[in-house]
A and B are shown apart, each in its own frame.
Chain A
Amino acid sequence: MNIFEISEQAIPFLIRGLGVTVYISLISAIFAIIIGIIGGICKISKIFLIRWITIIYVDVFRGTPFLIQLYIAYYVLPSFGIRLNALTAAVGMLAIYNGAYITEIVRSGIEAIPKEQFEASFSLGMTPYQTFKLIIFPQVMRIVIPPLVGRLILLIKGTSVASLIGVFDLVKIGRELAIALRHNPIVIYSLVSLFYFIICYPLYTLSIKIEKKLRLH
């Protein structure tokens, strides 16, 4: 079988896997950003306990491999009574794992705003809500978006690890195809890589463009 025949057979299956990958990426990205924003705000809290818990959360989840965290969520949690199916475990752990990184991104974004901005807005009579919405938030966005997009690219690539606990994403379907059809594995895994490239590379160029645009201000 030559490359085109293999591709013709493989691509419909791979596209289904791509759909699963995109689905997992979107949902876990949304949750990860929510967790990250909450975490970022917690990390600069004046309350020592909240800050401390967040620091431990970030250090533990950034200091261990994602695969181990996934295995713990899928194989260890049942002993504690929490039984998750593979998809839920994958989405959940992706959200928590990337949430730790986004916590740091958000924190450095907020800390980059000079304190004078807060003081100036308050002395002008703005409420904290107004301050945040009109002054702080736009500036934080400017700082945060490039590393955030970088993190999202890593999140999309991270969904591939979920294949190891049985989620039928792009990589898993590629592996099953390579085994079941005994085709040339180089062609199949190159196709898999190509699909990831098609999703991730535009995001990468987009983040460079955004970064350039924001730097001109």
Chain B
Amino acid sequence: MEFSFYTIRQYLPLFMEAFFNTLYVATVSLFFALIVGIIGGLCKVSKNKIIFTFASLYVNLIRSTPLLAQLYLIFFGLPYLGICFSPFLTGVIALTFNNGAYVTEIVRAGIQAIPKGQVEASLSLGMNYFSMMRRIIFPQAFVIIIPPLTSQLVRLIKASSLLSIIAYTELTRAGDTVAADSFAPTEGYLTSAFFYLIITYSLIKLSKYFEKKLNSHKK
């Protein structure tokens, strides 16, 4: 069994492009998922029963169905309705909706981690809901949610590997290409795995650094 580094060197430009594409689609999706998650998180702490139920329904639906099924639904369903998006956009939509549910839970937990006394104090100082959220709750919640958000980014990057089946050139697809073109699945997929490990390892180290910094002031 021989492992050919020459093959990998041949495809290195492809892997570089795929490496950046993976990070690109993951960060773009995380950005939009954050927007969805903030809206959803606010809905889930709302006292309004209808808003709360809608948000809960969304979260439970997403969390009880696999990403692949959601991806198929969007990738094959939208063209059936006449809407044709690029693989990148389809991937972003699917990943946004999927991770938006998980970010909703993260944001909700972040908001609920703020002691209720803060809310009471703000209201007794005469702040309305919007001011309270903007000046008191959100800044604190934002710092709290950074560690779980980083691990969500790691999950997002691993989930992006499914985008290989809708022909988006990310790391898994690069491995597929090497496997198909050069009959070298070993070189292809092991290289993909290597790059994924670089990304996830760095992110986990980063997340631990943030967590330390976050907890350092608690002494």
Contact = CB atoms under 8 A, between A and B. Distances in A.
Interface of A: 59-60, 62-69, 71-72, 75-76, 79-80, 153, 157-161, 163-164, 171, 174-175, 178, 184-186, 189-190, 192-193, 196-197, 200-201, 204
B197 A75 contact: no
Contact of A201 (B60, B70, B158, B175): B60
A186 B69 CA distance: 11
**From DSSP, what is the main secondary structure of chain A's interface residues?**
helix
Given A76-B190, A184-B80, A186-B73, A64 B200 contact: yes
A189 B60 contact: no
A65 B77 contact: no
Contacts of A178: 72, 76
A190 B159 CA distance: 20
Contact of A71 (B77, B158, B185): B185
A64 B1 CA distance: 23
Given A59-B201, A68-B189, A79-B186, A157 B66 contact: yes
Contact of A196 (B64, B176, B200, B201): B64
B101 to A, nearest CB: 12
Contact of B69 (A158, A171, A204): A171
B200 A193 contact: no
Interface string B77-89: 1001100000000
Interface string B169-189: 001100110010000011001
B60 A204 contact: yes
Contact of A64 (B73, B160, B196): B196
Contacts of A175: 72
Given A185-B72, A185-B80, A67 B164 contact: yes
Nearest to A161: B68
Given A68-B175, A68-B196, A76-B189, A171 B66 contact: yes
Contacts of B160: 65
Interface in B175-219: 175-176, 179, 185-186, 189-190, 192-193, 196-197, 200-201, 204
B207 to A, nearest CB: 13
B186 A171 contact: no
What 3 A-B pairs come out closest when comparing CB atoms?
A65-B161, A157-B66, A160-B66
B69 A68 contact: no
B197 A64 contact: yes
Q: Which of B67, B161, B179 has the largest count of A CB atoms less than 10 A from its CB?
A: B161
A66 B154 CA distance: 13
A197 B64 contact: yes
Contacts of B10: none
Contacts of A66: 158, 161
A174 B72 contact: yes
A7 to B, nearest CB: 16
B54 to A, nearest CB: 16
B165 interface: yes
Nearest to A189: B73
Contacts of A204: 60, 63-64
Contacts of A192: 69, 72
22 contacts: A62-B200, A63-B196, A63-B200, A65-B158, A65-B159, A65-B160, A67-B161, A68-B172, A68-B192, A75-B185, A76-B185, A79-B186, A80-B1, A157-B65, A189-B73, A189-B77, A192-B69, A193-B65, A197-B64, A197-B65, A200-B64, A204-B60
B42 interface: no
